[in-house]
Structure 1
Amino acid sequence: MDASFWHQRWASNEIGFHGSEANPMLVEHFSSLNLNKGERIFLPLCGKTLDITWLLAQDLKVVGAELSEIAIQQLFAELGVTPTISEWSKGKHYRAENLDIYVGDFFAMQAQTLGHVDAIYDRAAMVALPESMRLQYTTHLMALTARAPMLLISFEYDQRLMPGPPFSVTEKEITAHYQPNYQLQQLAAKEVPGGLKGKCPARECVWLLASK
Structure 2
Amino acid sequence: MEHEFWHERWAKDEIGFHEGSVNQYLHDHWAELAGQGTEAVLVPLCGKAHDMWWLHDRGHPVIGVELSEIACKDFFEEAREKARVHPGEPFTTFSHDDLQLWCGDFFQLAPDDLKHVRLVYDRAALIALPPELRKSYVDHLTAVIPDGTKILLITLDYDSTEMKGPPFNVSDSEVFELYQEDYEITQVLTRDMARDNPFAKRKGLRNGASESVFTLVKK
Q: TM-score normalised by the shorter chain: which range applies?
A: over 0.9
Bigger drift between 178-187 and 196-205 goes to 196-205
| Superposed CA offset, 1:124-156 (max 9, x none) | 000000000001000001111125210000011
Identity %: 36
On the 8 A contact 1:196/1:202 being kept in 2, the answer is: no
Aligned to 1:42: 42
* CA RMSD after TM alignment: 1.5
SS in 2 for 1:18: coil
Q: After TM superposition, list the pairs within 5 Å mapping 1:1-212 onto structure 2.
A: 1-147=1-147, 148-193=149-194, 194=197, 195=200, 197-200=202-205, 201-212=208-219
Find runs of 4+ consecutive structure 1 residues off by over 4 angstroms.
none
Q: CA deviation at 1:36?
A: 4.0
Bigger drift between 58-67 and 30-39 goes to 30-39
SS in 2 for 1:8: helix
Partners of 1:60 and 1:104 lie apart in 2 by: 22
Q: CA deviation at 1:12?
A: 0.8
SS in 2 for 1:119: strand
Partners of 1:39 and 1:167 lie apart in 2 by: 30
On the 8 A contact 2:34/2:119 being kept in 1, the answer is: no
SS in 2 for 1:46: coil
On the 8 A contact 1:22/1:51 being kept in 2, the answer is: yes
What TM-score, normalized to structure 1? 0.94
What TM-score, normalized to structure 2? 0.91
Structure 1 letter corresponding to 2:152 = L
On the 8 A contact 1:67/1:105 being kept in 2, the answer is: yes
